[in-house]
Amino acid sequence: MTEIIPIKEGIFVNDNKGARLLANKCEKCGYIFFPKATFCLNCYADHLEDVELSQKGRLYSYTTGYMPSMHFTPPYAIGYIDLPEGVRIFTPLIIDENKPFNIGMELELIIEELWQEDDKRIIGYKFKPV
Amino acid sequence: MRPVAVIGVGQSVFGKFPNKTAEELGREAVSAAIADSGIKPSDIQVAYTSRLYDVWVTGQCILKDVGIRGIEMVNVENACCGGATAFRGVWKEIADARYDVGIAIGIESMSTSPIAGKLIPPAKDDLEGQLGLTMPALFAIFARRQMEQYRTTIEDFAMVSVKNHHHGCMNPFAQYKKEFSVQDVLNSRMICDPITLLMCCPNTDGAAAVILCSYNIARRYTTKPIRVLGSSLLSGDYRFLQEDMTISPLGSLAAKKAYDMAGIGPEDLDVVELHDAFANEEMIRYEELGLCKVGEGTRFLREKSTWIGGKIPVNPSGGLLALGHPLSASGIRNIAEIVLHLRGEAGERQTPNAKVGLAHMLGGAVAGLEAGACGIHILAR
């Protein structure tokens, strides 16, 4: 049977409330970290509270790759998403012919398979145009 | 701190040499630098060598065959900034009066490396690398922001490549001695939209070496010692502190430190060599080095300020785009290029009456950081 493995443990959930990215926030200076930090990288405070990030954000920038990357065959799109919490996330993007990428456009989070290796399916986060 | 001079420079021809070992390329560069300096191999007291792929004791392997052994040898890796790091290592040894004469070597054989023919990935097991980030992808992402924020066009990006290939035609060591038009660059294969093949530096094999000594003994060896006025090397800050990806806090801070040490400003520079792994980054570098104001890099390019014969030639060697980019070698090679201009020995591509020059290098992608390292050196005659 195919084993399903997250690309990294503890960085997203996908349950009946939908897909969310898991971050944490410094209680002192308010910086938010994704993936979670073990202490605040901005002010070195120890205490961080868990937060879930918004499912929708705006495209900061993007590119479509036409040469293979480590796991993706061309064409594949990647970019940075600015989330309302003030966090910028690097992410694979889903190409939708009807919704060409534009800086500032709204995209939403989905969790799905990134690639397969041996008998494993590696799942992770992507963003797709709304 | 003692003043330090560069008294010898040398490089191998840059290109694709799958049948040459990295050590052979290294010996070509070292022998050229020793011949250029007029010193004997036995005069060298310390050696720093930089190479990224895929060895150990690389300096020892090169130097044993040119008669240098039994001295302090350090091998460093700092991605594409490795060469600048090795140079700074030797500079510190001599400035701190531990040694009087040393050699800095940068070397890379991409053709025989494990990443031959592939896009250069970030550090191994890096999350963003797993998710598809490569060097050209990252710079393509910057390019989209430049187009959005500054109305830079893909023709502007292409023009950087046209310029540097034009310069490369004047450099006998260049991998590509061929003129290209804007149309040629735009019509070349798309790598990461909007970055085309001819906007990317090629994979290159090559080596470069530089010999440094304490300034007070430099005239024993040469009538044209070149002083090291400023040196800086920094790692990148957290990416979450960088709001605008078209402005490099790392490069700006490294430049400020080098200018402060040298006691000069960008207006005093006559010639610049900088990291142009991708054509669009030249404009970002103009701004971070203070050659023009932030947001004016595109105008500065369009005014032809950075062509040979312009206000301040940038990458007269052909840069990484045309001369080629053997990763760890480039940071030594571009210092050597500045030295040639300051000596008045750069041939057809000479910057007239150059007195002060700057060599910039950048290296390494790490998730969460702006970049791995930035190294800047300012030299003067």
Q: How far apart are CA B316 and CA B314, in angstroms?
A: 6
Decide if A60 touches B, using CB distance below 8 A. yes
CA neighbor of B278 nearest in space, from B161, B156, B120: B161
**Which of B154, B190, B192, B244 best probes binding to A when mutated, by most A CB atoms within 10 angstroms?**
B192
CATH 3.40.47.10 residue ranges for chain B: 4-115+205-228, 127-200+230-380
CATH superfamily, region B127-200+230-380? Thiolase/Chalcone synthase (3.40.47.10)
Q: Is B292 among the catalytic positions? A: no
**Confidence class of residue A117 from pLDDT cuts 50, 70 and 90?**
confident
Q: Do A69 and B128 touch (CB under 8 A)?
A: no
CB nearest A78 (choices: B127, B132, B142):
B132
Fold of B4-115+205-228: Peroxisomal Thiolase; Chain A, domain 1 (3.40.47)
Q: How far apart are CA B62 and CA B53, in angstroms?
A: 15
pTM: 0.95
CA neighbor of B29 nearest in space, from B4, B59, B74, B57: B59
CA neighbor of B105 nearest in space, from B54, B44, B18: B44
**Confidence class of residue B365 from pLDDT cuts 50, 70 and 90?**
confident
At residue B217, φ and ψ (nearest 5 deg) are -110, 0
CB A14 within 8 A of CB A22: no
By C-alpha distance, the chain B residue nearest A60 is B145
Beta-carbon contacts of A109 under 8 Å, excluding residues fewer than 6 positions away, are: A19, A20, A21, A55, A56, A57, A125, A126, A127
**pLDDT score recorded for residue B324:** 96
Q: What CATH number is attached to the domain comprising A47?
A: 2.40.50.840
CA neighbor of B9 nearest in space, from B361, B358, B337, B362: B337
Question: What does the pLDDT look like over B205-261, one tens digit per residue?
Answer: 999 999 999 999 999 999 999 999 999 999 999 988 889 999 999 999 999 999 999
Question: Span B53-57, mean pLDDT?
Answer: 88
Q: How far apart are CA B197 and CA B178, in angstroms?
A: 15
- Residue B245: its chain A contacts at CB < 8 A? 60-61, 80
Question: What does the pLDDT look like over B297-318, one tens digit per residue?
Answer: 999 999 999 999 999 999 999 9
Which run of H or E residues covers position A104? none
CB nearest A69 (choices: B134, B241, B245):
B134
Joined together, the tokens standing for residue B193 give: 């939209």
CB A101 within 8 A of CB A11: no
Q: Read off the amino acid at residue B12.
A: S
Q: Do A66 and B142 touch (CB under 8 A)?
A: no
Beta-carbon contacts of B64 under 8 Å, excluding residues fewer than 6 positions away, are: none
Structural domain containing residue A23:
3-129
- Give me the sign of the Cα torsion angle B246, B250, B254, B257: positive
Question: What does the pLDDT look like over B84-110, one tens digit per residue?
Answer: 999 999 999 999 999 999 999 999 999
Nearest-neighbour CA in chain A from B146: distance (Å): 10
Strand pairing partners for B238?
B369
- Residue B134: its chain A contacts at CB < 8 A? 65, 67, 69
Which run of H or E residues covers position B116? none
Question: Span B288-298, mean pLDDT?
Answer: 97
Q: How far apart are CA B253 and CA B330, in angstroms?
A: 21
Q: Which residue has the tokens 């040298």?
A: B262
Q: How far apart are CA B121 and CA B139, in angstroms?
A: 13
CB B381 within 8 A of CB B342: yes
Question: Span B264-287, mean pLDDT?
Answer: 98
Provide the number of structural domains found in chain A.
Answer: 1
At residue B105, φ and ψ (nearest 5 deg) are -130, 140
Pairs across A and B, CB distance < 8 A: 88
Q: Are strands A120-129 and A3-6 parallel, antiparallel or unpaired?
A: parallel
